[in-house]
Structure 1
Amino acid sequence: MPDTHPNEQRLNELEIKASFAEDLLDQLNLTIYRQQQQIDRLIAEVSQLRQQIPEGGGAAVRSLRDELPPHY
């Protein structure tokens, strides 16, 4: 049976490739999960920072006359 050996070898190679693909998929899923956690934390942080901004629209308007020239 000369066809059995090449078919078995091909099947083994396909199983190895499938195993690597499954491992890669698991790694990518974990990466996406961690990124989503980070996004959620950043959204919460931005929300908290927005609540800290005064109702007047942020920092008070400053006149350019109050600014020191760059050579000071």
Structure 2
Amino acid sequence: MEELPERQRETFVLHRFDGLVYEEIAARMHISRALVNKLISQAMAYCRLLVNYPQAEYTVTAQKDADHEA
């Protein structure tokens, strides 16, 4: 999860681990409910990708490292 962008990670944690509903997350983060839905969906898709294709983690990490070096 630490590879997720900060806002995706924060919304995912608030929803899945802290039990907040989308409206509560939106109010706390000062974003729309639709954006909360999008961020959580993106985080879940990434997590599913890593479960189904563990090697994808290394691809994403390698790309992040390359981006930082450029």
Structure ranking higher on relative contact order (CA contacts 8 Å, 6+ apart)? 2
Q: TM-score, normalised by structure 2?
A: 0.32
Q: TM-score, normalised by structure 1?
A: 0.31
